[in-house]
């Protein structure tokens, strides 16, 4: 981005004998402009709708903010590919701006609370040779049990199970096969519905939503984690499960930690 002391006039319009002169102190090399504007959907950001002279796009001050925002977003997004020292310097520079600092600190505070959920992060995606059904929450177990017994599912249960399994990256065919036990099963119709539901890309319902649909089965299954929650190490309090996917993550995490502890104890006994 180039700043010039003397503004450049890049457009003159005449409406009803009134002449309007548009000038700016800012210009940006067109390749850099394209990098910043390529993800902005506003038509006015297209190169053809902007003043281009000698390879530079002339930008009015009022249109600069969005480009700067995009520049910052891309810098942080690409942080893995950027030298971390360079990124830290960039962050320090931004933090000198009090408004940025205040927003940054607010986001950081929210992230600190959220982050503890990721302390239990564990790879839970579908793997052909690993059955993770034991880690499924009661609301999902109930649907599996209904399917096994050949009972019909209501619409919300069908959507929920598709989105839930899709979030765990279950293959489409596996999801379709799951429905094959239902009384109204039709492979091509179910295939179409499953693909459509997946394409919608929704995340599975949260516990709160499932409760409103009376699909929360915590009490029926007397599930300790769902009823009593889990201990948050970060906040030092007992917390309730908010999402069925977190249930899977937490259960898998705890089981893996127990497995590792037992292996370590065995190893220590062998070394004695
Ligand atoms: S608390 Fe959440 S995860 Fe547990 S059964 Fe109810 S809806 Fe499912």
Instruction: Collect contacts of 20-23 with beta carbons under 8 A, ≥24 apart.
Output: 22/60
Question: Of all protein residues, whose CA lies closest to atom 2 belonging to ligand 1?
Answer: 207
Question: Quick one: how far is CA 35 from the chain centroid?
Answer: 23
Cβ(204) – ligand 1 distance below 6 Å:
no
pLDDT band at 228, cuts 50/70/90?
very high
Please report whether residue 94 resides in a domain.
Answer: no
Q: Is the predicted pLDDT of residue 162 greater than 90, yes or no?
A: yes
pLDDT band at 55, cuts 50/70/90?
very high
Q: Is the predicted pLDDT of residue 13 greater than 90, yes or no?
A: no
Q: How many domains does the chain have?
A: 2
Mean predicted confidence (pLDDT) in 173-194: 90
Cβ(175) – ligand 1 distance below 6 Å:
no
Cβ(244) – ligand 1 distance below 6 Å:
yes
**Residues 65 and 142 both lie in one domain:** no
pTM, two decimals, is: 0.58
Contact 229, 238 (CB under 8 A): yes
Please report whether residue 271 resides in a domain.
Answer: no
Cα dist from 73 to 41, 42, 76, 240, whole Å: 16, 17, 5, 33
Question: Of all protein residues, whose CA lies closest to atom 4 belonging to ligand 1?
Answer: 226
User: What domain range is 75 assigned to?
Assistant: 2-83
**Residues 145 and 78 both lie in one domain:** no
Cα(15)–Cα(206) distance, rounded to whole angstroms?
56
Cα(87)–Cα(5) distance, rounded to whole angstroms?
29
User: Could you tell me which of 176, 170, 173, 178 has the C-alpha nearest to residue 190?
Assistant: 176
Picking from 83, 118, 144, the residue at the C-terminal end of a domain is: 83
Please report whether residue 245 resides in a domain.
Answer: yes
Q: Is the predicted pLDDT of residue 78 greater than 90, yes or no?
A: no
Contact 47, 30 (CB under 8 A): yes
**Residues 149 and 230 both lie in one domain:** yes
Least confident interval from 47-56, 123-132, 135-144, 234-243 = 123-132
Q: What is the pLDDT of residue 89?
A: 83
């Amino acid at each position: 981005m180039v700043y010039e002391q003397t503004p450049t006039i890049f457009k003159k319009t005449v409406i009803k004998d009134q002449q309007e002169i548009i000038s700016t102190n800012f210009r940006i090399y067109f390749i850099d402009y394209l990098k910043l504007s390529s993800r902005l959907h506003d038509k006015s950001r297209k190169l053809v709708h902007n003043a281009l002279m000698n390879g530079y796009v002339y930008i009015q001050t009022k249109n600069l903010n969005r480009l700067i925002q995009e520049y910052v977003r891309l810098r942080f997004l690409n942080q893995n590919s950027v030298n971390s020292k360079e990124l830290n310097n960039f962050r320090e520079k931004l933090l000198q701006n009090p408004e940025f600092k205040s927003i940054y600190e607010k986001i950081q505070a929210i992230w600190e609370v959220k982050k503890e959920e990721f302390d239990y992060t564990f790879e839970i995606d579908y793997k052909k040779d690993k059955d993770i059904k034991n880690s499924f929450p009661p609301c999902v177990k109930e649907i599996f049990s209904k399917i096994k017994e050949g009972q019909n599912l209501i619409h919300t249960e069908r959507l929920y199970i598709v989105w839930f399994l899709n979030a765990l990256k279950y293959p489409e065919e596996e999801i379709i096969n799951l429905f094959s036990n239902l009384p109204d099963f039709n492979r091509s119709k179910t295939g179409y519905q499953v693909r459509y539901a997946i394409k919608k890309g929704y995340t599975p319902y949260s516990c709160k939503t499932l409760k409103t649909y009376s699909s929360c089965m915590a009490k029926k299954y007397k599930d300790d984690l769902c009823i009593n929650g889990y201990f948050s190490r970060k906040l030092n309090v007992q917390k309730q499960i908010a999402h069925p996917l977190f249930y899977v993550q937490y259960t898998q995490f705890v089981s893996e930690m127990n497995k590792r502890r037992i292996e370590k104890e065995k190893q220590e006994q062998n070394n004695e």
